[in-house]
Amino acid sequence: MEGSVGYDNDLNLKATELRLGLPGTEPVSIVRRNKRSLQQVADDDCGVNGCKSDDQNETAPPPPKAQIVGWPPIRSYRKNNIQTKKNESEGGGIYVKVSMDGAPYLRKIDLKVYSGYPELLQAIENMFKFTIGEYSEREGYKGSDYAPTYEDKDGDWMLVGDVPWEMFITSCKRLRIMKGSEARGLGRGV
Amino acid sequence: MQKEMAYSFPDEVLKHVFSFIQSDKDRNAVSLVCKSWYEIERWCRRKVFIGNCYAVSPRMVIRRFPEVRSIELKGKPHFADFNLVPDGWGGYVLQWIAEMAGAYPWLGEIRLKRMVVTDESLELIAKSFKNFKVLVLFSCEGFSTDGLAAIAASCKNLRELDLRESEVDDLSGHWLAQFPETCTSLVSLNISCLGSDEVSFSALERLVDRCPNLRSLQLNRAVTLDKIANILRRAPQLVDFGTGNYAAELQPDVFSNLAGAFSSCKELKSLSGFWDVVPAYLPALYSICPRLTSLNLSYATIQSPDLIKLVSHCPRLQRLLFLIQVLDYVEDSGLEELASSCKDLQELRVFPSDPFGVEPNVSLTEQGLVAVSLGCPKLQSVLYFCRRMSNAALVTIAQNCPNLTRFRLCIIEPKTPDYLTLEPLDAGFGAIVEHCKDLRRLSLSGLLTDHVFEYIGTYGKKLEMLSVAFAGDSDLGLHHVLSGCESLRKLEIRDCPFGDKALLANAAKLETMRSLWMSSCAVSFGACKLLGQKMPKLNVEVIDETEPPDSRPESYPVDKLYIYRSVAGPRFDMPPFVWSMDEAVKILH
């Protein structure tokens, strides 16, 4: 009989004696036939180690993960419900991700829902529980450590509020609430 | 002489006494006292529960219990819920129905879970049982609305038709119209799983109208919000209601009509449904919120502020709410609100809104669960999806809620460690099993070593069901569980480095359990064959969709393994990708 673990004709309990260390015989190699990637702890997965979005990782989106069959353990009808909801809404709205430096989570908002900058900024303030400063064309956002910025179609990072609203919602790809000196140093777009 | 007198009650007296004994466990105990008690008991058992439809054959059940009125059967393994069991695996109910049709003409109740039910089976039920009252198809599949039409048309005294979470081929909404005008007996109707095709609403309205005892009604998503008021006004006696769609453009007259209809339902205690919620319509519920004991918002993609409003603007909600199921849009803040309002909460389920998203999309962390554990001392049952956890949090939860009986935690990313210390979560789950002495069900996740299984084996003496994924280091982990958990009935494992040693060393244990599932582990084909040979009362089934397991070396691990005890021997309805390790069957397969 092949195999690295020898079996007699009955269950040889002595042979299957368990110890804390690895058994003397070589372990059976585990061949994984289902494709999946085992995420390492060190990955910049915001949900595990806190967000690292305040550095250059921000512009490169994380690689798409291979989906593991049957994980997370959710019934198909629940998955279908969520999917339908997504598809339905994706058709109509302008969805952009909103991140805030230091916050361990992202949000997605529909820009179409807001009628202008004041409403949008109010919503973001509520979402992340902070205050944005007073906006002025010359000096940007004063009175707060944070400044709302967005990435436009050309990949440039702009201060929210610099361009007319209609232009903003068509060119905004994602929003980021910047903190600290980076926020203060941000020049305004042309 | 005196001993004989103690047993000389006439059979009728014993039969009468036994009729007060409802629980299966007690009845089983009664039947073991002596031969005559066994005989009397088997003739008067009316209800049979079969946790694994392959553990026994229909003929055996009928032979032992000739006068059954109610039967409950479960088919596929639990992991079938997550697509780990291939289609065609089994769990067919037809043969059961066919045999019972002949033997139990007075069968009144059939409850099935995870079984394949064809239209033919439904038609046979409709034809065969003149006194049919209750049909519950929980997570079943294989039938269409045609089969339902047969049931509706023939079952003159139908009380319950519950199709929860089943997959139904929705061919036509007109099956509802098949309920004859004379059918007034419905007490419970759950059609929430039906697809988005129209259910004949007028037929539904007429049915609700003529069934004054209707207590529980769950509509499907196709029923629009404006129709809810019509239904509720026809059934103000409802105790349990599932809305369909809960979305519409806000119109004052629709709103006031809806609010009025809800407030007229004085008995309403349980709400569910709420697909596509428009928050503006939630206040229509405020009048009944004080009475609610159960609220299922797990399809409602409303944001935390609206959820908080709903929970907190109902001043007396805290006294009655027992079960809440929400999406993680509720967030930590919503759960904190819940914890401060709903002191009687017993069960909490929080489902993920974006399970496959790479980054978290909501602020739901371990804090929410900790808050609920602190504020709701009666908490017994938890199902919680989140993206981070810590040992400290788990220890706190365990200490706050020693009455937990079911604890299922799913940290979405496999092998996620304690986010504070980066250590495995062994200690945290260890605290759960140590403090929660009545824990019956546990699902693990996160980074876990063999140590967590040592805790489980040591403390989990009442544990009946354990679900494990991406955990452990070696066979020692599995050995701890199999040798320590005295009450274990169901064990399901995926993607763990557990192999032959622990399984073979604890083979006898498997006969004391209902079933064991292992997939993507390290159990060799050789070990499976050995188990099959040595344990005739176990059915050892290997599932492999790619190639026959004997086309590879015996040391090669099998893809999926399902072991269950059975007195019926190996089954004969196995599809080509399932191999029985029973010697006799192997040759024929």
pLDDT in tens, B4-54: 555 578 888 999 999 899 899 999 999 999 999 999 999 999 999 999 999
**A105 touching chain B per CB within 8 A:** yes
Residue of A nearest to B424 (CA): A41
Radius of gyration of chain A, Cα coordinates, nearest whole angstrom: 26
pLDDT of residue B196: 62
Mean pLDDT confidence for A98-106: 76
List all residues 6 or more positions away from B23 whose beta carbon is below 8 Å from its beta carbon.
none
pLDDT of residue B323: 58
Contacts of B165 in chain A (CB under 8 A): 75, 77
pLDDT of residue B20: 92
User: Cβ–Cβ of B499/A4 closer than 8 Å?
Assistant: no
User: Cβ–Cβ of A79/B355 closer than 8 Å?
Assistant: yes
User: Cβ–Cβ of B358/A65 closer than 8 Å?
Assistant: yes
Whether B503 contacts B527, CB under 8 Å = yes
Nearest to B497 among A30, A74, A78 (CB): A30
- Residue of B520, B523, B554, B558 to mutate, interface with A, max A Cβ within 10 Å: B520
ipTM of model: 0.87
Give the pair of three-digit tokens for residue B27: 């009845």
What's chain B's average pLDDT?
91
Sketch out chain A's domains with CATH numbers. 95-181 (3.10.20.90)
Burial class for B540, CB neighbours closer than 10 Å (0-12, 13-18, 19+)? buried
User: Cβ–Cβ of A10/B534 closer than 8 Å?
Assistant: yes
Residue of B nearest to A50 (CA): B419
User: Cβ–Cβ of B359/A82 closer than 8 Å?
Assistant: no
Nearest chain A CA: its distance from B534 CA (Å): 8
Amino acid of residue A58 = E
Give the pair of three-digit tokens for residue B280: 């503006």
Nearest to A13 among B299, B351, B505 (CB): B505
Mean pLDDT confidence for B489-511: 97
Q: State how far the Cα of B153 lies from the Cα of A29, in Å rounded to an integer.
A: 58
Contacts of A20 in chain B (CB under 8 A): 476
User: Cβ–Cβ of A107/B82 closer than 8 Å?
Assistant: no
Higher local confidence (pLDDT), B325 or A149: A149
**A92 touching chain B per CB within 8 A:** no
B78-92, B139-153, B309-323, B575-589, range with the lowest pLDDT: B309-323
**B420 touching chain A per CB within 8 A:** no
The three-state secondary structure class of B146 is helix
**B522 touching chain A per CB within 8 A:** yes
pLDDT of residue B257: 95
Give the pair of three-digit tokens for residue A16: 């299957």
Q: State how far the Cα of B530 lies from the Cα of A34, in Å rounded to an integer.
A: 26
User: Cβ–Cβ of A34/B554 closer than 8 Å?
Assistant: no
Segment B304-353, tens digit of pLDDT: 778 777 877 554 443 344 456 677 778 888 888 888 888 888 889 998 88
Segment B439-470, tens digit of pLDDT: 999 999 999 999 999 999 999 999 999 999 99
Contacts of A107 in chain B (CB under 8 A): 361-362
Residue of A nearest to B443 (CA): A73
In chain B, which among 90-149 make CB contacts under 8 A with chain A? none
Segment B40-65, tens digit of pLDDT: 999 999 999 999 999 999 999 999 99
Q: State the residue for tokens 């903190």.
A: A179
Segment A16-56, tens digit of pLDDT: 444 443 444 444 433 333 333 333 333 333 333 333 434 44
Burial class for B171, CB neighbours closer than 10 Å (0-12, 13-18, 19+)? middle
Mean pLDDT confidence for A145-152: 87
DSSP letter assigned to residue B40: H
Contacts of B419 in chain A (CB under 8 A): 48-50
Question: pTM for the whole thing?
Answer: 0.79
Q: State the residue for tokens 């763990």.
A: B496
Count CA within 13 A, CB hemisphere, residue B138: 13
A187: pLDDT confidence band, cut at 50, 70 and 90?
very low
The three-state secondary structure class of B86 is coil
Amino acid of residue B310 = L
pLDDT at B563 exceeding the cut of 80: yes
CA nearest neighbour of B270 among B244, B241, B235, B246 = B241
Residue of A nearest to B506 (CA): A13
Q: What percentage of chain B exceeds 90 in pLDDT?
A: 74
User: Cβ–Cβ of B556/A10 closer than 8 Å?
Assistant: no
Cα B302–Cα B308–Cα B312 angle in degrees, nearest 5: 140
CA nearest neighbour of B96 among B65, B54, B133 = B54
**B414 touching chain A per CB within 8 A:** yes
- Neighbour count for residue B113 (Cβ, 10 Å): 21
pLDDT of residue B584: 61
**A25 touching chain B per CB within 8 A:** no
* A·B CB contacts under 8 A: 159
Segment A105-120, tens digit of pLDDT: 667 788 887 888 988 9
User: Cβ–Cβ of A38/B298 closer than 8 Å?
Assistant: no
pLDDT at A63 exceeding the cut of 50: yes
Contacts of B530 in chain A (CB under 8 A): 7, 11
Q: Where are the alpha helices (DSSP H) in B418-575?
A: 426-435, 450-459, 475-484, 500-505, 507-510, 525-534
Give the pair of three-digit tokens for residue A32: 């994984």
**B504 touching chain A per CB within 8 A:** yes
Give the pair of three-digit tokens for residue B512: 């004391």
Residue B465 CA, distance from chain mean position: 12
